[in-house]
A and B are shown apart, each in its own frame.
Chain A
């Protein structure tokens, strides 16, 4: 008991706690626990006692601050915290001035506030500065006077639109440059992200072309032809379809085959020979067709003779023999060959 009293008295003299009102923090660096109390409950009680004292100390300074009355209760303005803690993110860097801002500062140009509506002389109403139904819209101009400096073949309306497009592109380029400059020093605004749309150009100037499915297939086929087996046994990727055969389809007969009715080789050679040799020559000549051709030729001859007697024009004479010649050659083909082969 006496020891406790002594300790308490010592404590009282070393009152100063480190109080940080901004954080509602109190620290007592003078309390030591040389020997832990026997039971857990006692330890807990002691800790609570100490805690109460500290909290009381904070509350003392807190409640003595000037307070304002609020709906829920007295509102107190806290002083800034004294114990320093590390930041969670780096300090934000101020945005560097854009090229226009620098120029404006140098020249002393003041930024003037613009109104949302502008008086339009043409219609005599107040119109928007930009957007739907705006003041100086390109499509509202009915007539553009020709100037001495204009070239004859140039469409002035299209020229106006092109100029506007160029201006907009230039502005976009400048904006991108300004943002790149800000990103270089690490002061990019939080809502902006710069994304690379394509890989940086190395070597040739042309950007890589996109390859289509057909092109890929063709290339694969070309690579396959370089192998001895024509790509037939190449290991395929999962999902790759087998190569389509290109070129003529040749069917080769098996090497060893039994003779008889099913002998394919014999059939093949027979059909070829029959086409050539005149054994079944009547099948070659189309009799009906030959007859009609002969009849037609005969009728024409008779007609022409009648015309000759009536008109006798040199043009028809000239035309006639040529026609006859053509007909003759058409007929002579199979007939002549027949005669030759028979010998």
Chain B
């Protein structure tokens, strides 16, 4: 026996619709959590990432001992949290002697782990340590410019993966229209060696230049850190193909005998089969048929007349 359960509340229905899979996707929500042990710097890193992604991020502050992203059984908790909070990227911080200031950035597909990148954080400078003119501070939730510098991002596998993951993490919502006055932040990632990336967050100052395009000036405001790539796990081919599929990839089914022209627009071809002249049913009945009817009517009239005569005679 099955029972149909629908939400009794409009609010719940809207929430469910927000979480349903969509054809075109907007930004992913981020889940920030920590493991058994964290260091001071790591706490700072996690809270600053949360600040940067204030609108679309969820921060868990308790320690989670049973999460080990790179082990096969240690992902169940992560998947459960992802399902409950509807987050598709997670940032997991932990600190151990072997891997100090460890940060695992991972993505989910359908609330299952898709890929992971493990980086170590070095030379972390928090927002407070930067001095700048407070008026230029970027506003929360503005869409950032993202700049990647370095051939390492093209040549080295791990850095290529990291570039993709960082792009996913740092870009905000995918929007169609953007207000040019609201652009005030930029992330700059430079590959300084084959496994190190220098990431920094800057505010943008627009300066007058001769043309329509203003001159950009970057001022470091936000956190800056060195990311050392430790491990990474790429998604398996099948999963990657499925995740990369978009609605437009499906080729439009070609309708037969329809073509479009620049001048005339849509043109269609109609094929008419050969007419069989002899077998066509004629719409107007032949004269012969009509005559038959007339004669039949005459006969009837005669018969009736004869009958009347008989009656009269009787």
**Which residues 1-58 of A sit at the B interface, judged by CB distance below 8 A?**
22-33, 36, 40, 43-44, 46-48, 50-52, 54-56, 58
Q: Is the CB of A50 within 8 A of B147?
A: yes
State the CA gap A195–B1 with chains docked (Å): 8
Contact B220 A48 (CB under 8 A): yes
Known interface pairs A31-B151, A85-B164, A180-B2; A51-B143 also in contact (CB < 8 Å): no
Proximity string of chain B (1-18) to chain A, C-beta cutoff 8 Å, 1 when within and 0 when not: 111111100000100110
- Chain A residues contacting B200 (CB-CB under 8 Å) are 44, 47-48, 51
When the two chains form their complex, are residues A190 and B3 in contact, meaning their CB atoms are under 8 A apart? no
With A51-B218, A55-B204, A91-B245 as known contacts, state yes or no: A30 contacts B109, CB within 8 Å: no
Q: Which of A44-94 contact B (CB under 8 A)?
A: 44, 46-48, 50-52, 54-56, 58-60, 62-64, 67, 70, 72-78, 81, 83-92
Bound together, the chains give a CA A27 to CA B216 distance in angstroms of: 17
- Determine whether A192 belongs to the interface, using a CB cutoff of 8 Å to chain B: yes
| Contact (Cβ within 8 A) A85 B198 | no
Give the complex CA separation of A45 and B181 in angstroms.
26
Q: How far is the CB of A17 from chain B (nearest CB, A)?
A: 9
CB under 8 Å from chain A, chain B span 182-224: 182-183, 186, 188, 190-193, 198, 200, 202, 204, 212-218, 220, 224
Would you call A306 an interface residue if the criterion is a C-beta within 8 Å of the partner chain's C-beta atoms?
A: no
Q: How far is the CA of A190 from the CA of B190 in the complex (A)?
A: 42
Interface of A is mostly: mixed
Inter-subunit contact A59/B20 (CB<8 Å)? no
B106 to chain A, nearest CB (A): 12
CA distance A89 to B24 in the complex (A): 10
With A and B bound together, what is the CA distance between A192 and B214 in angstroms?
Answer: 51
Are B246 and A25 in touch, CB under 8 angstroms?
no
Verify A73–B181 contact, CB threshold 8 A: yes
- Rounded to whole angstroms, the CA-CA distance of A308 and B132 in the bound complex is 137
- How far is B220's CA from A196's CA once the two chains are assembled, in angstroms? 57
Q: Does B168 contact A (CB under 8 A)?
A: yes
Q: Which of A56, A74, A176 interacts with B180 by CB under 8 Å?
A: A74
Given contacts A195-B3, A197-B2, contact A47 B190 (CB under 8 A): yes
The answer to whether B188 touches A51 (Cβ under 8 A) is: yes
Kindly state the separation between the CA atoms of A290 and B176 in the bound complex, as whole angstroms.
Answer: 115
B213 touches A73 (CB 8 A): no
A178 to B177, CA, bound (A): 40
Please judge, given known A-B contacts A54-B149, A190-B20, A191-B7, whether A90 and B110 are in contact too, CB under 8 Å.
yes
CA A28 – CA B146 in complex, angstroms?
11
- Enumerate chain B residues within 8 angstroms of A176, measured Cβ to Cβ: 2, 4
Contact across chains for A86 and B190 when beta carbons are under 8 A apart: no
Does B154 sit within 8 A of A, measured CB to CB?
yes
Known contacts A73-B182, A176-B2, A193-B5: A88-B108 contact under CB 8 Å: yes
In the complex where A51-B186, A87-B25 touch, is A76 in contact with B177 (Cβ < 8 A)? yes
A33 and B21 contacting across the interface, CB-CB below 8 Å = no
Query: Across the interface, do A31 and B167 meet the contact criterion of CB distance under 8 Å?
Result: no
Report B-chain residues with C-beta under 8 Å of the C-beta of A23.
146, 167, 171
Count chain A residues whose beta carbon lies closer than 8 angstroms to a beta carbon of B: 64
Partner pick for B188 among A50, A60, A67, A88, CB 8 A cutoff: A50
A89 to B21 Cα, complex, angstroms: 6
Answer yes or no: B232 CB below 8 A from chain A CBs: no
Which of these, A48, A87, A179, contacts B245 with CB under 8 Å? A87
Q: Is A291 interfacial (CB 8 A cutoff)? A: no
* Contact among B17, B182, B192, B204 with A33 in the assembled complex (CB-CB below 8 Å): B192
Q: Which residues of B contact A179 (CB under 8 A)?
A: 4
A84 closest partner in B (C-beta)? B244
When the two chains form their complex, are residues B193 and A91 in contact, meaning their CB atoms are under 8 A apart? Answer: no
Q: Are A91 and B247 in contact, CB atoms less than 8 angstroms apart?
A: yes
B174 touches A26 (CB 8 A): no
Contacting pair A56 B215 (CB below 8 A): yes
Contact A55 B25 (CB under 8 A): no
B212 cross-chain contacts in A, Cβ below 8 A = 63-64
Closest to B211 in A: A63
Q: Does B21 lie within 8 Å of A91, measured CB to CB? A: yes
A-facing mask of B112-147, CB < 8 A → 1, else 0?
A: 001000000001000000000000000000011111
A198's closest neighbor in chain B, by CB? B1
Q: Is the CB of B148 within 8 A of A28?
A: yes
B98 close to A (CB within 8 Å)? no
Bound Cα distance from A85 to B152, whole angstroms:
20
**Does B150 lie within 8 Å of A90, measured CB to CB?**
no
Listed from nearest, the 9 A-B pairs whose CB atoms lie closest are A73-B181, A51-B188, A190-B20, A88-B88, A86-B243, A89-B21, A54-B147, A50-B149, A29-B154
Given contacts A47-B188, A86-B244, A194-B3, 20 further A-B contacts (CB under 8 A): A24-B171, A30-B151, A50-B149, A51-B190, A51-B200, A51-B202, A54-B145, A70-B179, A72-B181, A73-B181, A74-B179, A75-B180, A87-B244, A88-B110, A89-B110, A175-B4, A179-B4, A190-B19, A195-B2, A196-B1
14 A-B pairs in the complex with CB atoms less than 8 angstroms apart: A30-B151, A47-B190, A48-B200, A56-B213, A63-B212, A72-B182, A86-B235, A86-B244, A88-B110, A89-B109, A89-B110, A91-B245, A190-B19, A197-B1
Which B residues have a C-beta under 8 Å from some C-beta of A? 1-7, 13, 16-17, 19-23, 25, 28, 88, 107-110, 114, 123, 143-154, 163-164, 167-168, 171, 174-183, 186, 188, 190-193, 198, 200, 202, 204, 212-218, 220, 224, 235, 240, 242-247
A positions within 8 Å CB-CB of B: 22-33, 36, 40, 43-44, 46-48, 50-52, 54-56, 58-60, 62-64, 67, 70, 72-78, 81, 83-92, 175-176, 179-180, 190-198
